Structure 1
Amino acid sequence: MLRFGELEAAIMRAVWAAETPVRVRDVREALQRDRDIAFTTVQTVMDILYRKGWLDRAKQGRAYRYWATASQEDYATGLVEEALEAAPDQAAVLSRLVARLPSEEIEGLREALEESKHQEGLT
């Protein structure tokens, strides 16, 4: 799994934050809050993300509407899986990641682990 470039990541965050499919114009407006960026630059990068399979689109009138093909959580999971595959001690990496979590998220993780153990026992 390839990591996004800086602009790709900013565009994907804007798409993920939207509740409905977005136009290039919508994404550019969201990005304009932090940087001056040309419409054509956003359009080109969104087309690249479409060709890479991260975005899908449908024509509506004269403009395309774009939406993400995977959730932000799915993308982050892929990055973590890739990092774990490269680690000689996966448990140590996971332990360090867990140590950085807020306590309420650690509790949620405990519950997920218990559920996983329960499901494992059923199979």
Structure 2
Amino acid sequence: MNAGHAPGERRPGGALEAEVLGILQSTPQALTPGEVLQRLSDDLSYSTVVTVLSRMFDKGLLKRGKQGRAYAYAPVADTHGLTARRMRQVLDSGSDRESVLARFVEDLSLQDEQLLRQLLGGLPDQE
């Protein structure tokens, strides 16, 4: 099967990772590279799938455990958790957290700002 691109054509950056992550998030148990390969919509080599899974593990997107001679991989969080994790990583990479957070809040829609205030109001103060 082909995922909408011609044979030999490169996928857009991150597309294979996104597809692999979707597969792993749609199953309750960890999957081995061979099991991921069976579920992918493209004809890829086993070594390509191992490489992608290893890189995703190195990025902190996946956890893994031994299953026979291979590793079995699972996401570290659901979609929302991974998005929050990426937001934290971007925030952590800046030198002026206050300015970054202030700009973020300024750019929120009124509805998102109200939701954020509601969520923060429900959290205990940590001093």
Q: Is the structural similarity TM-score above 0.5?
A: yes
Question: Structure 2 CA distance, aligned partners of 1:62 and 1:77?
Answer: 33
Q: Residues 90 and 50 (structure 1 numbering): CA distance in 2 closer, same or farther, change over 3 Å?
A: closer
- Structure 2, unmatched stretches of 5+, are 1-12, 92-98
Whichever structure has more helix as a proportion of its residues is: 1
TM-score (norm 2): 0.61
Is the CA contact 1:23–1:65 (under 8 Å) kept in the aligned structure 2?
yes
2:121 maps to 1:117? yes
**Higher RCO by CA contacts (8 Å cutoff, separation 6 or greater):** 1
Task: Report the secondary structure of 1:57's partner residue.
Answer: strand
Hey, what does 2:53 align to over in structure 1? 46
User: Any idea what the Cα deviations from partners look like across 1:8-33, whole Å, max 9, x if unmatched?
Assistant: 2221121111111111122112212x
Identity within the alignment, %: 24
Aligned ranges 1:75-114 → 2 under 5 Å? 75-80=82-87, 82=90, 89-95=103-109, 98=112, 110=115, 113-114=117-118
2:44 maps to 1:37? yes
Is the CA contact 1:55–1:66 (under 8 Å) kept in the aligned structure 2?
yes
Hey, what does 2:21 align to over in structure 1? 12
Give the letter aligned to residue 37 of structure 1. L
Give the letter aligned to residue 17 of structure 1. S
Aligned length: 107
TM-score (norm 1): 0.62
